[in-house]
Structure formats: structure tokens, C-alpha cells
């Protein structure tokens, strides 16, 4: 549960809607045809840009920005130090029973290769291949949200152009100019609002998540390779510490 | 047949044309000289930018975004696992009869080298050279569409400037101001519409296709090299699994 | 003679000038002081940005976008296959008489090294150094045109600001507002027109040429190195085919 | 204490506030709802983009741009030259007493490895891993400030759109047009001001700091590795001099 | 003395000032408070972005764009060919007397290493380290000017916003609208002018200089390494020719 995303969206809506209500004329800001141009145009452009399965994954992508859980780096260091201790004391085969305690499929695969007695370089190569293609898959979601963030203001502007052209037809009735132009500007407002409060920040959040997950996987790779080389727990800890800031380098001890 | 591209274009036109008709004055939005400035200028700039053969390939490029077919990753893994099984059981020469069953010229070339008993590293090198230059050829179509997407709004603005300058000549007849400015804005509307609903998303689709095709070719390269090294079917499958998400890693078994 | 560049420029001018004449007031669009601000300012900025020899090369750069001739890739493959045949049949020294038939100084240098019996790796290294620095020299012309394409609209906007400020001085004579603003907008029009129809597309054309020339040189390097390694004509052809699309891979046979 | 940041912010505020007061109507420029839209919207978008711990680190990041202290490059060279002298005279173990004189934890770790007699390549590898991940952690703060710098003007524009739409509702009272539009423009002013005087320059300062710190750490790595290889003080000094400009290459002599 | 920079600045000012004088109202374009907002704001933002020593180096950076002298590439090739001849005839030690004839500290260092009999690979490594860090130091000046070029229009826009808001306060006196808006636009004019005629082109010039200097240093490195490997003058000349265009490859002969 990512509390920051939820707070940000709720407060953001509150601030903007509040400002509209304070200024008056709130009803004016809700206009279905304007919403249809901006959001409809943006969704169609997204559909043309991406493949159907990618487009349909938008909701699961947005969901991911709210519910994803990042593994703790300290816990990862602790695990690696323990594996090193077990490996030195009882040999790699003793790690087999650790596999069942692990949820993360990536770590399971790494441990399995360790137990199978594969070469550290071979493990690293396969793990890096896996990390590399995961990164590509991850970047897809980010690209969709970024494209939506770029497309929404563009269709907002297209809507405003349509509104302006229609308004300019009957300049002779000065009273209709104001409301016509107000409606024309609505689509630009919708586009800017959706892009800057929703799509662009959510794309950023996906990037932040993706990076943490990548770092966690690089830590697992480095750790498992160090264990496979037979490093002692202290050496493994030293190597893992490069990944975390000096402030959070707590003394990790073997707990098994 | 890419259903997403077709749906996106049809719905996108429907949304925008619908919004215009609802607002009234639809006839006003169809103005041949404005269309000529925006599209003519954009096509001339594209002709100057690219060579004649590249320019003439625009239609086949656009066609490609609708009809291209991406190879299934799971099928590719299945094929590679089968090749590994045949190779282990009957030797590389037995793969010769598989070549005739394959359509993809890239896979044919890879299999041929495998049957010819070439070195895995040699195969990989030649395959990567082929992938690299294919990528360059692919990026050409994307660049043309991207340039058109950047050029259309620019000529839209040039048309609007021409219209504004002409309108400002006779400010003394206030009635003509409105319609003059409406016409001036039309070119900006055409440019923004063509760029944001057609050219930019189609360029994106080409990029999505190009990437899938590249991944498929990298999978073929990795798979054929693994087979050439004499890996067993399970090892080949493990290696190929790095390319697909954990959700779609079905158990692939030897089917030959 | 690049027919695309010439057609593009002629048609582009026709479209824009035609649109101006159709709308009326063509005389108004020709205003020397506005032209002086936009083009003069842009040329001065270019002079400050680049060195004097680079600046003076603008005309030869523009000329190059019209008259350059790209070597045919199929011909190159044909040549390399022939060289391989000669090399296998009569030895590298027999290639000496081929040198005199070649115009391209790059190919001459490569053949000379082949005849001199230099090591393939040594040839590749020197050729790549040459390609790398040619690329840097090539990119200069592109950068100048790109800077002019970015600078022209900026000075157009500066001219418009000057015109607007001058117009706003005497808002009391409403008749002069229209013509004053029309003149002010002219510089923006000049800048946008020059950038989008001339400088940006010409910079693109230079990039397209540069890339083709680079590919041709990479093909020569790969081909000569393969010949130097003593590859047979078929192997050389296979290697060269990676550079061209599958559609244009004609059967090339030894013609000597 | 970074005097430049403080002077820049104080003078920047003075210049802008002074210009407002000179022009009159200073009170008009302070408008709580406009401030709430621009800053509130920007903070909410930042909250959605980043994780909660990253968001909460904004203040410590801003503090860092004012109080951070960059190590002197000349002092670093002096230290490395001394270490080389001690190492050549008394062996690596004699460097153990130098560790206690050093504050920088990175240098402590490097010296410890040197004293432990680790291989130069091993030291370099671990140090580079540490530098690489520090760089990633550093770039986070810069990204947050850059996002705020991009988001503030966007929400400024959103606020202006809301204000314009509300103003256009009652165009019939011409007196309210001026003040309505003035208020509408305020949010754009706030956004542009905050981005261009605060967020973008502070992000730049963080980048400048990060780069100096990276260079210092690269100098330590190169220096310690040279000492570990047993280079003499002169050779170490020559190597370190590559990092500093020729003007500041003072003659450094062994001072121990 | 870079004549292009001086001509460009003088002519650029002449063109813009001339256009202002022709249009009339030249006095209006000189407004101290507007100048203070644009330039003061820009300088304060630069001060916040960079460190104090970097900020204070602005003048020496600007001076550099006018007075710097680029070494001639042909002369460099001539020198390297001579060194190769001396080295082959009298041995590396005979090059010692050449060192005193050289001004460039980089070449002095390279020659010194050659005379000291260091390994070619060792020379190359140290030279490349030096080139790499010089490049980083060079890019600093460019970054400062680029930031000023991006910041000046931003503060111009901030000034215009302030002016517009102040003007909108008293819309009731229509006569003041024109002059108020003219003054408001002045800051945007100042910002655009300073950025597009001064800062952006000067940043470009620095880049052009930096690149020529880098190429010269790469030529020195390649040349000295070739001499150190004992290449004959002809081979050295061939290698150096890769750096210059085919048109300027004059026959260089040993002149010592």
C-alpha cells in the first residue's frame, strides 16, 4: 500500500476542486463533451501507439503504483549474510531448505543455481540477463503513462482550438464570447490537470519502484555470487553495504 | 491485423468529428487551402529531409503498423526446446529438415549455420550484426513518422501566422475579424490533429513492433547458440525464460 | 543530384506563396527590415557560435545536400565478392590493379593496406579510426544547419517583440494597430518558415547522407577485412548481406 | 556553508520583490488561494511521483545545498603522496595509524583495505561499486528538485486556466476583467518564480556538489590503488594531477 | 583572437538596434528596472546553481571565447612525423631537446614520458585520463553559459508577468494599457535577446573550442604512442591523417 500516492491524489484533487469552489462557478468546470474530447482523444492515441495487450494493462499498471511492496534492503543484506554463514558451515547443499522460506521467485532461482553448484560467473550472467529483460518489461508501463501524460494536454489544446473556432463564428453576440471561450479553455484545463497530477507523477512512481526492484535484484545477484565464491559472512556484508547509504549501514550479524 | 491501431483511428476520428458536429459549424472545419498549407508544407519538408526512396516508403510504413504480425514468444521457446532435444538426440544435422518448416528468414539463416556446424560464437556474432543493421533499417520508418509529427504542427503555425497577418490588414471591418481568425486557427488545428492522433502514435506503434521483433531475434540468437553449445532442453528453456515475464512462463516440454 | 531536395523546396515555396497570394495582400509579406532582423540576427548568432571556417562552409554544406551521390550497396557487395575471388585465385597482390579502377579514396586506402599484406585487425582498427573522425567532421555541417533552424524562430520572436513594443506606443490610433501587429508577426513567420522548410529538413538530409556514407564505409571495412582473412566469395557475400534488407539481397555472383 | 546559494536566494528575492514594489500594487502579489493551488498542486504531484521517505527528505536535501563541504583536491593529492611515501618506507601496515586521522568514511574503508593487503584490482572494484551506488543515491535529491521545478509552472498554468475560466463567466462587468485576469496570472507568476529562482538552480547546485564528491572519490580510488601497487610518491602525484587543471598543479612534496 | 565572435556580436547588436531605431521609439527600449529584473534574476539563479568560484569564472570564460587559439592540425602532424624520424634515427633520448621547443604543457608531458622510455600503453592510459578530466573541466564553462541562456528568457517571462499583473490593476485608464504592456514585454525582449545573441551562441563557441582542443590532444596521444612503438614517419603520418579531412591531407615530409 503506497500511502504517498493515495495522499497525493486525494490532496491534489482537494486543492484544485477547493480552489474552483472558492472562486465560484464550480458547475461550469464539469462539461461532458470537453471531457470526451480530451480523454477520448488521449485514449485513442494511446491505443494507436501501443498494442492491445499493453493498452489493456493500464489499469493493472496504475494499481501497481498503489499496492506494490519494495523489499527491505537491510533484510536482503541479513539474508545474504546468513546464506554465507550456512554455506561456509554446512556447504551449499544446506541452503536447499532455505529456498522454501523465500517468496521472491528471483531469489528462489538464484538459490537453486547456488545449490546446484553452478559457477559464480554463470549465475551472474543468467541473473543479469533476467534483470535486463525485466527492466525492459518494467519500462513499458512507464512509457504508457508518460505517453498519456504527453497526449492529454495535446488533445486539450485540440479541444480548445475547436472551441475557439466555433466561438469565433458568432463574434456578433458579445455575451456568448465569454462563455464560449470559457468552455474552449476547459479542455486545456482537463488535459493539463490529468497530465500533471495523474499521469506524469504516476509514471515517475513506476520509475521509482522499478529502480528499487532493480537494486534489490542486483543486491541478490552480487550476494549470491559472493556466497557461491565461498566468501565469509563479513566479506559478503562489506560488499552488500556498497548498495546502502552510510547512515543505514547497521551492523548485520549472522542470525542463524 | 493490428486491431488496436484501427480501433484507435476510427474512434479518434469519431470523437473529434463528433465534438465538432455537436458544437455546430462543421462545414467551417473543412477548408481546402488550410489543408493544403499544413499537409503540403509538411510533405515538402519531409521530402527535403529524407531521400526519395525513403519518402515513397511512407505508405508501406503506415501499412506495416496495421498488418504486421509479431511472433509469439512462447512458440519461440517451444521451438528452441525442440531443437535442443533433436540436437541432443540425433545431432545438428537432423535439424536440417526443420529448416523447411520455418518461414522466418532470420531463423532459417540461424538454423542453417547450426546445421553447417559453425561455432556458437561465430553464429552469435553474425546474428548480432544482422540484428544491429535491421534495427537501423527499422528506425528509419519511425524517424519519418516522427518528423511528420513534428513538422505538421509547425506548418499549422505557419498557416495561422499567414492567416493572422492577412486578417490584421483589414481590422476596420469587425465582422470579418471573427471568421478570419477562425480560418487562421484551422491550420493549427489540422497540424495538431494530424500529429497527435496519427503521426506520433503511429511512430510509437512502429517502435513497439520493432522492439518485439528485436526481442524475438535476440531470443532466436540466444536459443540457437545454446543449442549449438549442446545445452539440454531444460537449460535452453531456463535461458529463454529470462525474456518473458514470470506470469507467462508456462512449463514448456519437448514436443518432438 | 538529389531530386527530392529540389522538388521539396520548389513545391514548399509554391504551396506557401500560393496560399499567401490566394488570401491576398502578397506585397505585405515582403518587408525588408523584418527580413533583416530575422536572417541577420540568425546569421550573427551562427557566426558567434561557430568558427569562421565553419561558418563560411555553410554554402558548400547546402550544396552538398543537393549534389552528393551515395554509393550503391549492391555494387559494394559485388565489388567485395570480386575482390574475394581475386584474392583466393591470384593472391592479394593481384588486387593492386583493382585500385586504379576505384574512385573512392577510402576504398583505395583499404585496398592498398590489403595489397601491402597488413593484418586484418590492423586494417579494421585504422579504418574504424578513419570512420570515427569522418563522422565527427560530417556532424559539423548538420549542427550548423540545426543551430540555424533553432535560431531563426528565436530571432523571429525577438523581431515580433520589438514590433509589438513599438506598436503599443501608439494605441490611440486604432487603425495603425492592425498593420503594426501584422508587421510584428512577419518576423515570426519568416523565422518559422526558414526553419521548418529549409534549415531543419536540410539538416535532416545531411544526417541521412552521412548515415548512408557511414554504412558504405562500414561495409567496405567489413568486406576488406573478410577478404584479408582469406574468406571465400560466398562467405564474404553472406557477411555483407547483414547490411541490406532481405528484399534487396539479390544473388551476387563473382563477375571476374 | 555555501555562501553562493545564500547570496543568490537573498539577492534574487530582493530583485523581484523590489521590482514589484517599484511598480506598485505589492499587496496584490500576495494571494493565499493562488499560492495554495501552485504550491499545493506541486507538492501533491511530488508526493505521487516519489515514495514517502524520498518526499520527506526534501528539507534535508535543500539543507544540503547550503551546508555541504567539498574536500579540497590539493589536500587529497597531498594525502595520497604521503601515503605513498609511508607505504614505500614502512610498508602498508604503517598506514594503519593514518586511518584514525581521517574523517571521510570512504577513505577510511579504502585505507583499511590497503592495510589488509588486498589486491589493487580488488580495491578498485569495490570502491567503484561504492561510487556507482552513491551516485545513484545522490541523483535522487536532484531528481526531486528537478521534478518540483517542472511541476510548479505546470500547476501555475492550471491555476491560471481556472482563473481565466472563472473570469470569462462574467465578462459583462468590464471592471472585474482586469483584476480577475491579474489574479489568474498570479499562479503562473508563482510557479515560474519558484521554479526558476529556487528549484531548478538548487537542483543544479546538488549536481555540482555530487560531481565534486564523485571526483574526490575517484581521486581517492586512483590514489589508493597506486599506493597499493607500490608506486613511488612522484608517480602517484603525476597520476593525481590529471584530475586538476594545470593552473592548480602546485608542487606537492612528501610532508611526512 | 576569434574574429567570428567579435563580428557576430557587433553585427548582431547593429542589426537589432538598427531595427529598433528605424521603427522609432528607441528610448523606450532602455528601461533600467526591466533590465534589473531580467539580468539580476538570471545572475542570482546562476549564483544559486553554481559554486562561487565557478560563478566568478564567467568573465574569464567569456574572454576565452574571444582570445583562445586552436593548434593547427597540420602542424601537429608535422611535429609527430618529425618526432618519429628523430626517434628512428637517434633514439627516444634525442627527443629530449625537442621538449624545450614546445609550449603546450600536454605535449611536454607526453614527450617527457616518451623520453623516459615508458610503455606506449602506459602513455596512452595516462594521456586519456588527462583528456577525460580536461573535458569535464571544459564542459563547466559551457554549462554555465547554457544555464544563463535558459535562465534569461525565464526571468524575462517573470518580469512580463509582473508587468502584466500591475497593468491589469488599472484597466480603467486605456491610455496606460499600451505603455504598460510595452514595458511588460521589454523584459521578455531582454531575456530573448541576451539568450539568443549572447549566451547560447557563446556556449556553442566554447563547445567548438573544446572539441578542437580535444581532437588536438587525441592526435598528440595517438602520435606519441605511435612514435613510442617505433613506427616509421610514413606510418605515423598515415595514422594521423585519419583525423583530418581528405582535402587537407597535404603531403607531410620529415623536415628535420
**Mean pLDDT of all residues in E41-45:** 96
Cβ of C158 within 8 Å of Cβ of E196? The answer is yes
Neighbours of chain A (3+ CB pairs under 8 A): B, D
Among A45-59, B178-192, D30-44, E164-178, the least confident range: E164-178
Average pLDDT over residues A222-240: 88
Q: How far is CA C222 from the centre of its chain?
A: 24
Q: Which residue has cell 568573465?
A: E59
- Judged by CB atoms closer than 8 Å, whether chains meet at B24 and A48 is answered as no
What's the mean pLDDT in A192-212? Answer: 93
CB A137 within 8 A of CB A57: no
Distances (CA, A) of B163 to B187, C22, C185: 9, 11, 11
State mean pLDDT over A114-128. Answer: 87
C1: confidence class by pLDDT, cuts 50, 70, 90: low
Chain A residues close to D47, C-beta within 8 Å: 4-5, 7-8, 11, 201
Q: Is A30 helix (H, G, I), strand (E, B) or coil?
A: coil
Q: Residue E46 and residue D20: Cβ atoms within 8 Å?
A: no
How distant, in Å, are the alpha carbons of C44, C45, E7, E30, E152 from that of E13? Answer: 9, 10, 10, 14, 17
Please tell me which residue of chain B has the smallest CA distance to C2. Answer: B51
pLDDT confidence of residue A37:
93
If contacts are CB pairs under 8 Å, which of residues 193-212 in chain D contact chain E?
Answer: 193, 195-198, 200-202, 204-205, 208, 211
Residue E144 has a pLDDT of 94
Residue C43 pLDDT > 90: yes
Q: What's the average model confidence in pLDDT over E7-13?
A: 94
What pLDDT, on a 0 to 100 scale, did the predictor assign at position D139?
86
What percent of chain C is predicted at pLDDT more than 70?
A: 98
Do C165 and E156 form a contact (C-beta atoms < 8 A)? no
Which uninterrupted H or E stretch holds E78?
helix E73-90
Q: Tell which D residues from 72 to 131 touch E, by Cβ distance under 8 Å.
A: none
Q: How far apart are CA C82 and CA C226, in angstroms?
A: 12
pLDDT higher than 80, residue A169: no
Q: Angle at Cα A207 formed by Cα A204 and Cα A211, nearest 5°? A: 145
Count the alpha carbons within 13 Å of A154 in the hemisphere toward its beta carbon. Answer: 26
Task: Average the pLDDT over E55-60 and give the result.
Answer: 86
Cα separations in angstroms, B205 against A141, A200, B11, B202, E75: 15, 21, 17, 5, 52
Contact C129 E19 (CB under 8 A): no
Q: Is the pLDDT of residue B98 over 90?
A: no
pLDDT at A35: 93
Could you tell me what percent of chain E has a pLDDT over 90?
33
Please answer yes or no on whether E137 and D11 come within 8 Å at the CB atom. Answer: no
Does residue C175 sit at the B interface (CB-CB below 8 Å)?
Answer: yes
Alpha helix (H) residue ranges in chain A: 3-23, 32-35, 41-49, 52-56, 58-67, 73-90, 96-99, 105-115, 120-169, 174-193, 200-228, 233-241
- Chain A contacts of B177, Cβ < 8 Å? 171
**Is the per-residue pLDDT at B199 higher than 70?**
yes
Taking only Cα atoms into account, the Rg of chain D, rounded to an integer number of angstroms, comes to 26
Lowest mean pLDDT among A124-133, B234-243, C245-254, D37-46: C245-254
The helices-and-strands tally (H runs, E runs) of chain E is 12, 0
* Gap between the Cα atoms of A159 and A38, Å rounded: 7
Q: What is the pLDDT of residues E218-239, one digit of tens each?
A: 999 989 998 988 888 888 888 8
CA atoms of D71 and D61, how far apart (whole Å): 19
- What pLDDT score was predicted for residue A189? 96
pLDDT of residue C102: 86
Interface test with D, best of E42, E44, E141, E210 (most D CBs within 10 A): E44
pLDDT tens-digit readout, D213-227: 888 898 999 899 989
Residue E64 touches partner D, C-beta closer than 8 Å: no
Q: How far is CA E240 from CA B69, B156, E244, in A?
A: 50, 49, 8
pLDDT on residue B102: 86
For residue E168, give the nearest of D7, D29, D178 by CB distance. D178
pLDDT at A50: 92
On the question of pLDDT at D1 being above 70, the answer is no
In this model, does residue B51 exceed pLDDT 70?
A: yes
Q: What is the pLDDT of residues A35-64, one digit of tens each?
A: 999 999 999 999 999 988 888 888 888 887
Q: For chain A, report the end-to-end CA distance as a whole number of angstroms.
A: 31
For range B227-233, the mean pLDDT:
88
Of B15, B185, B242, the CB nearest to A37: B15
Among A36, A43, A44, A118, most B C-beta atoms within 10 A, so best to mutate, is: A44
DSSP D171: T
- Best mutation site among B42, B48, B61, B126 for testing chain C: the one with the most C CBs within 10 Å? B48
Q: Which other chains touch chain E, taking contact as 3+ CB pairs less than 8 Å apart?
A: C, D
What local confidence, expressed as pLDDT, does residue B58 receive?
A: 86
Tell me, what's the pLDDT at A2? 79
D26 touches chain E (CB under 8 A): no
Is residue D211 very low, low, confident or very high in pLDDT (cuts 50, 70, 90)?
Answer: confident
Over its C-alpha atoms, chain E yields an Rg (Å, rounded) of 26
Chains meeting D at 3+ CB pairs closer than 8 A?
A, E
A159–B contact, CB cutoff 8 A: yes
C-alpha–C-alpha distance, residues B157 and B192, integer Å: 9
Interface test with D, best of A11, A13, A17, A19 (most D CBs within 10 A): A19
Q: Quick: pLDDT tens for C58-98.
A: 888 888 778 777 778 888 899 999 999 998 888 888 888 88
Does E2 touch chain C if contact means CB atoms closer than 8 Å? Answer: yes
Tens of pLDDT, residue by residue over D137-168, are: 788 889 999 999 999 999 999 999 999 998 88
**Where does chain B have alpha helices with state H?**
3-23, 32-35, 41-49, 52-56, 58-67, 73-90, 96-99, 105-115, 120-169, 174-193, 200-228, 233-241
Q: Tell me the pLDDT tens digit for each residue of E151-191.
A: 999 999 999 999 999 888 777 776 778 888 888 999 999 99
Q: Which among A50, A130, A157 is the nearest to B208, CB-wise? A: A50
Does residue A174 sit at the D interface (CB-CB below 8 Å)? yes
Question: Coil, strand, or helix at residue A126?
Answer: helix
- E229-243 burial, b at 16+ Cβ within 10 Å, e below that, comes to eebbbeebbbbbbbb
Q: 10 Å Cβ neighbour count for B256?
A: 11
Q: What is the mean pLDDT of residues C143-158?
A: 96
Say whether C197 and B44 touch across the interface (CB within 8 A): yes
pLDDT at residue E1 tops 70: no
ipTM > 0.85, yes or no: yes
* Lowest-confidence pick of C15-29, D201-215, E43-57: C15-29
Kindly report the backbone phi and psi dihedral angles of residue E235, in degrees, each rounded to the nearest multiple of 5, phi listed first: -65, -40
Residues of E in contact with C36 (CB under 8 A): 15, 18-19
pLDDT of amino acid C46 = 95
Please, do chains E and D touch (3+ CB pairs < 8 Å)?
yes
| pLDDT tens, residue by residue, A128-151 | 888 887 888 788 889 999 999 999
pLDDT at A1: 59
pLDDT value of position E49 = 94
Do chain A and chain B touch with ≥3 beta carbon pairs under 8 Å?
A: yes
Q: C28-59 b/e with 16+ CB inside 10 Å = b?
A: bbebebbebbbbbbbbbbbbbbbbeebbebbe
- What is the pLDDT, as a whole number, of residue E15? 92
Provide mean pLDDT across the span B17-38. Answer: 87
Provide, rounded to the nearest whole percent, the portion of chain B with pLDDT above 90. Answer: 33
| Segment E50-67 mean pLDDT | 84
pLDDT at position B158 over 70: yes
Per-residue confidence (pLDDT) for residue D159, from 0 to 100: 95
Where helices occur in chain D by DSSP H, the ranges are: 3-23, 32-35, 41-49, 52-56, 58-67, 73-90, 96-99, 105-115, 120-169, 174-193, 200-228, 233-241
Mean residue pLDDT across chain D: 87
d(CA E162, nearest CA chain D) in Å: 7
Q: What is the mean pLDDT of chain A?
A: 87
| Mutate: best of A47, A106, A188, partner B, most B CBs <10 A | A47
CA pair distance E218, E236, nearest whole angstrom: 14
Query: Measured between CB atoms, does B62 come within 8 Å of chain A?
Result: no
Whether B20 and A158 lie within 8 Å, measured CB to CB: no
Q: Is D50 helix (H, G, I), strand (E, B) or coil?
A: coil
Q: Tell me what pLDDT residue C135 has.
A: 85
pLDDT band at B1 (very low <50, low <70, confident <90, very high): low
C1 touches chain B (CB under 8 A): no
Provide the grid cell at D77. Answer: 593529492
Tell me whether E242 touches chain D (CB under 8 Å). Answer: no
**Confidence (pLDDT) at C47:** 93
Whole-number pLDDT of residue C17: 92
CB contact under 8 A, C48 and E5: yes
CA nearest to A125 within chain B: B239
Half-sphere exposure of B96 (CA within 13 A, CB side): 6
For residues B131-144, average pLDDT: 85
For E142, the closest chain C residue by CA position comes to: C49
Cβ–Cβ below 8 Å for E126 and D186: no
Percentage, residues of chain A above pLDDT 70: 98
Q: Give the cell for residue C198.
A: 529549409
Cβ proximity of C84 and C231 under 8 Å: yes
Please judge whether D47 and A8 are an interchain contact, meaning their C-beta atoms are less than 8 angstroms apart.
yes
- Whether B221 shows a pLDDT value over 70: the answer reads yes
- Tens digits of per-residue pLDDT, C110-134? 898 888 888 888 888 888 888 887 8
Task: Nearest chain E residue to C177 by CA: give it.
Answer: E178
Question: CB distance A48–B15 less than 8 Å?
Answer: no
Three-point CA angle C185, E160, C44, nearest 5°: 55
Contact between chains at B129 and C242 (C-beta distance less than 8 A): yes
Residue-level pLDDT at C61: 82
> Span E131-159, mean pLDDT?
91
Q: Where do the H-state alpha helices sit in chain C? A: 3-23, 32-35, 41-49, 52-56, 58-67, 73-90, 96-99, 105-115, 120-169, 174-193, 200-228, 233-241
pLDDT band at E245, cuts 50/70/90? Answer: confident
Amino acid at each position: 500500500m503506497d500511502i504517498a500516492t493515495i495522499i497525493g491524489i486525494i490532496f491534489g484533487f482537494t486543492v484544485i476542486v477547493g480552489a474552483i469552489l472558492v472562486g465560484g462557478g464550480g458547475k461550469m468546470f464539469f462539461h461532458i463533451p470537453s471531457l470526451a474530447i480530451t480523454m477520448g482523444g488521449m485514449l485513442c492515441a494511446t491505443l494507436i501507439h501501443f498494442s492491445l495487450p499493453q493498452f489493456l494493462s493500464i489499469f493493472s499498471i496504475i494499481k501497481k503504483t498503489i499496492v506494490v511492496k519494495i523489499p527491505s534492503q537491510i533484510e536482503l543484506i541479513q539474508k545474504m549474510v546468513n546464506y554465507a554463514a550456512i554455506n561456509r558451515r554446512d556447504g551449499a547443499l544446506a541452503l536447499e531448505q532455505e529456498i522454501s522460506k523465500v517468496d521472491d521467485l528471483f531469489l528462489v532461482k538464484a538459490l537453486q543455481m547456488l545449490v546446484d553448484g553452478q559457477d559464480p560467473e554463470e549465475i551472474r550472467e543468467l541473473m543479469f540477463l533476467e534483470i535486463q529483460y525485466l527492466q525492459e518489461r518494467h519500462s513499458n508501463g512507464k512509457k504508457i503513462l508518460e505517453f498519456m501524460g504527453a497526449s492529454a494536454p495535446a488533445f486539450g489544446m485540440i479541444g480548445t482550438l475547436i472551441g475557439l473556432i466555433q466561438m469565433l463564428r458568432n463574434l456578433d453576440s458579445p455575451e456568448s464570447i465569454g462563455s464560449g471561450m470559457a468552455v474552449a479553455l476547459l479542455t486545456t484545463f482537463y488535459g493539463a490537470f490529468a497530465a500533471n497530477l495523474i499521469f506524469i507523477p504516476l509514471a515517475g512512481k513506476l520509475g521509482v519502484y522499478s529502480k528499487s526492484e532493480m537494486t534489490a535484484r542486483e543486491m541478490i545477484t552480487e550476494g549470491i555470487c559472493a556466497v557461491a565464491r565461498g566468501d565469509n559472512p563479513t566479506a559478503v556484508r562489506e560488499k552488500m553495504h556498497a548498495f546502502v547509504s552510510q547512515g543505514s549501514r547497521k551492523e548485520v550479524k549472522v542470525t542463524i
